[in-house]
Structure 1
Amino acid sequence: MPTYRSGAGDPARTLQLLWRQPAEGPRRGPRQGRSVDAIVGAAIELADAEGLDALTMRRVAQAIRVAPMTLYTYVPGKAELLDLMLDRLYADMPRPDRSRKSWRARVTAVARDNRDLFTAHPWAAEVATVRPPLGPGLMAKYEYELRAFDDTDLDDVERDASLTYLLDFVRAAARSTAEARAVQRDSAQSEEQWWAANGPLLARVFDESKYPTAVRVGSAAGAAHGAAYDPEHAYEFGLRRVLDGLGVLVDAARARNAETPRD
């Protein structure tokens, strides 16, 4: 699976487009008959349907019925367009009031919201966001998700690191889920069908006395999940462990705060 990254385009032009600021200097060429929003919407539809490899400026131009060179008068290239697409997804994420819920419930909901985003738009999980452009969608998302850690006594650095830790887990889980689905789709076989076809051969070549632990544990897991890998179980199990780990950090922060003398 190829890796794409945000922030790979012209930073100044990307920020102008994200915040819908006019480009500096006089604009050349005919009057524009499309909008950046329409271009971004068409690009998202294309990526949803066919993936990021299919996302080219030519294909997007065809989708909105303009000449490819005309598209460049709106967006400089695919790198900037990808940043606009991600920011649109972030802007459209739900942000209900969860202030009355526990921090664990709020964090669980943040994880679910991001997983839903990757389920609806699998290509988004392929984009590395180590240097994300600070668009309005991302800033609103970051502000909202940080509040999931209110009342935890975490300091600002811990809060940021905790959110990053959570989102990294969700992204990794989403990519594993997408890979599992791609394997099943490309092989045209379900897990049960694959094991039924290959089980007899594996039974002949596996020496259970040589790999006793692997055979015992693998058999138990396979029987429990009906497959060698169950994305849903992996996500739920992993999220519980993430919450457990954050719980230790929150307990330490609260203990630290309780020990701090107050004026």
Structure 2
Amino acid sequence: MADEEPTSIWMQPERHERSGPGRRPGYSREQITRTAVQIADAEGLEAATMRRIACELGTGAMSLYRYVPRRDDLSDLMIDLVMGEIELPGSPSGDWRSDLTLLARQIRAAGLRHPWLIALLTGRPTLGPHLLRVHEFALGAFDGIGLDIDDITGFVGMLNDFIHSAIRREIGWLEEARRTGLDPERWKRDYMGPYVREVVESGAFPLFSRSVLDSRTAHLAPDDRFRHGLDRILDAIAALIPSLRSR
């Protein structure tokens, strides 16, 4: 008989086990997931194996598969637990730009707290309840301003692409700083600086040289760089909205 097709973890009822005399206490998906998140935050996603989680909980790995059957299920649960940290109003305010700025900054903060999150989010689709809440808020920010659903989903996708890319780049800088022991500014100045000066002095790459010497954004602090990029994305959306309404 063919293997049964896997079912989304969100369609699988949670096990509830009561402890009794002489029995081990039962576990929960949330307990297992929180332990996985703590391990991934401290040691990286690869360390958050069922064996390691079971060790932290003082049980055997096989007992946890009754609660979380597959590795993909654990990934979905980890994503959704972290998305639950994002604090949003119950509904959009009506100021789409303000709402999306709030959302973007919250996602960035979660991504920096949990450096493994963006790799999981962009690696496979998942639709847990907390992620759906966040996505519904993003879609709702554009609702009621005269856009069709294709335009709304396109703008939300474009915004997500920027947020995820910016977080990945920032995490890359932080990981490089940990690996080399140099903060980003020292890395630019001490490690790359001599070579960059040689390139600039060669005159072979004039636009690159201008981007190094004259660009204000190239030297922004991470928070300011993120906000600058976010503002440019939102500016582009604002510029498109009137023409899309009038189609």
Deviation at 1:55, TM superposition (A): 1.3
Taking structure 2 as the reference length, the TM-score comes to 0.82
Q: Give yes or no for contact 1:40–1:85 (8 Å, CA) kept in 2.
A: yes
Distance 1:196 1:122 in 2: 26
Deviation at 1:22, TM superposition (A): 5.8
Deviation at 1:242, TM superposition (A): 0.9
> Residue 134 of structure 1 is aligned with which of 120, 127, 131?
127
| 1:58–1:243 Cα change, 3 Å | same
Deviation at 1:98, TM superposition (A): 6.0
1:177 maps to a residue whose letter is: E
Q: 2:236 matched to 1:245?
A: yes
> Residue 80 of structure 1 is aligned with which of 73, 76, 92?
73
Measured on the aligned residues, the alpha-carbon RMSD in Å equals 2.8
1:127 maps to a residue whose letter is: L
Distance 2:64 2:50 in 1: 7
Deviation at 1:33, TM superposition (A): 1.2
1:12 maps to a residue whose letter is: T
Q: 2:61 matched to 1:68?
A: yes
Runs of 4+ residues over 3 Å off in structure 1: 20-23, 97-101, 128-131, 191-194, 196-207, 221-224, 230-234
Deviation at 1:97, TM superposition (A): 4.6
Taking structure 1 as the reference length, the TM-score comes to 0.78
Q: Provide, for residues 58-115 of structure 1, a one-character-per-residue CA deviation record: whole Å limited to 9, x for no partner.
A: 1111121111121222212322101111122223421215644521111111211211
189-198 vs 132-141, which deviates more?
189-198
SS in structure 2 opposite 1:122? coil
Distance 2:199 2:241 in 1: 49
| 1:224–1:155 Cα change, 3 Å | closer
| 1:130–1:78 Cα change, 3 Å | closer
Within-5 A mapping of 1:45-56: 45-56=38-49
Could you list the runs of 5+ residues in structure 1 that have no partner in the other structure? 1-9, 24-29, 257-263
Who is 2:96 aligned against?
103
**Which structure carries more relative contact order (alpha carbon 8 Å, separation 6+)?**
1
Distance 1:116 1:101 in 2: 23
Q: Give yes or no for contact 2:199–2:205 (8 Å, CA) kept in 1.
A: no
> Residue 108 of structure 2 is aligned with which of 103, 115, 133?
115
Q: Give yes or no for contact 1:46–1:54 (8 Å, CA) kept in 2.
A: yes
Q: Provide, for residues 227-246 of structure 1, a one-character-per-residue CA deviation record: whole Å limited to 9, x for no partner.
A: xxx54343222211210121
SS in structure 1 opposite 2:160? helix
143-152 vs 166-175, which deviates more?
143-152
Same amino acid, percent of matched pairs: 33
> Residue 211 of structure 2 is aligned with which of 213, 217, 228?
217
> Residue 179 of structure 2 is aligned with which of 150, 175, 186?
186
Q: Give yes or no for contact 1:91–1:137 (8 Å, CA) kept in 2.
A: yes
Q: Provide, for residues 2-56 of structure 1, a one-character-per-residue CA deviation record: whole Å limited to 9, x for no partner.
A: xxxxxxxx64152334xx4569xxxxxx887111111011111111111212111
Q: How many residues align?
A: 236
Distance 1:103 1:223 in 2: 25
Who is 2:225 aligned against?
234
Q: 2:7 matched to 1:16?
A: no
Distance 2:74 2:6 in 1: 12
